[in-house]
């Protein structure tokens, strides 16, 4: 089922940000972002939902990635196929655990790293969940502001990017509302 659009913002000419409510595993985009851990063990949260929906091949490809490249860092996400999902790729971004230090910079690095990887892969569309706000306990309101600012900064500095559409797909209404407020606050400052 298609997610529900709640807000659409032009980041720069030809680049659109959408904030939606729904299930990220059902998004018809080039890539969805997984809120991953550094060893790409997809046992809970968004990661488990992605493997349930996309198939065990995603975990197998993730295991092969870690074996070949080592643990995944905040700034350099991994990627696998989308398995049985409508997306071509899953970009596995490692967000920070709240309390480990320098969390804001690490979350920004995970967002920007995902966008850089999408660009390297030549993708036109990407969907993000609220990385680190689940079991990693990153405060959702703070994360929402970081996400929106990171998108704004990235597209301001990368006008030639092939990425035309960035979606934030949020499952629950409280998280959705915090992202909508963050977007309103960020873009009313312009």
Q: If one looks up domain 4-188 in CATH, what number appears? A: 3.40.220.10
The reported pLDDT for the residue numbered 189 is 63
Average pLDDT, consecutive stretches of 10 residues, N- to C-terminus, the chain (190 residues):
92 94 97 96 92 96 97 97 98 96 98 98 98 95 98 93 97 96 86
HEC per residue, the chain:
CCCEEEEEEEEECCEEEEEEECCHHHCCCCEEEEEECCCCCCCCHHHHHHHHHHCCHHHHHHHHHHHHHCCCCCCCCEEEECCCCCCCEEEEEECCCCCCCCHHHHHHHHHHHHHHHHHHCCCCEEEECCCCCCCCCCCHHHHHHHHHHHHHHHHHHCCCCCCCEEEEEECCHHHHHHHHHHHHHHHHCC
The reported pLDDT for the residue numbered 190 is 52
The reported pLDDT for the residue numbered 166 is 98
The reported pLDDT for the residue numbered 18 is 98
The reported pLDDT for the residue numbered 188 is 83
């Amino acid at each position: 089922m298609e997610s529900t659009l709640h807000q659409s913002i032009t980041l720069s000419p030809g680049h659109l940000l959408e904030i939606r409510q729904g299930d990220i595993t059902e998004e018809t985009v080039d890539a969805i972002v997984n809120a991953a851990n550094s060893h790409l063990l997809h046992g809970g949260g968004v990661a488990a939902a992605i493997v349930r929906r996309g198939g065990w091949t995603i975990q197998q490809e993730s295991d092969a990635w870690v074996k070949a490249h080592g643990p995944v860092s905040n700034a350099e996400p991994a990627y696998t196929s989308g398995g049985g999902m409508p997306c071509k790729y899953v970009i596995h971004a490692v967000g920070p655990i709240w309390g480990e230090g320098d969390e804001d910079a690490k979350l920004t690095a995970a967002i920007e790293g995902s966008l850089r990887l999408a660009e390297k892969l030549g993708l036109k569309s990407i969907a993000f969940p609220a990385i680190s706000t689940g079991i990693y306990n990153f405060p959702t309101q703070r994360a929402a502001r970081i996400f929106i600012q990171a998108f704004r900064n990235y597209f301001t500095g990368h006008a030639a990017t092939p990425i035309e559409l960035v979606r934030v797909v949020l499952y629950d209404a409280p998280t959705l509302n915090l992202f909508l407020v963050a977007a309103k606050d960020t873009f009313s400052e312009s």
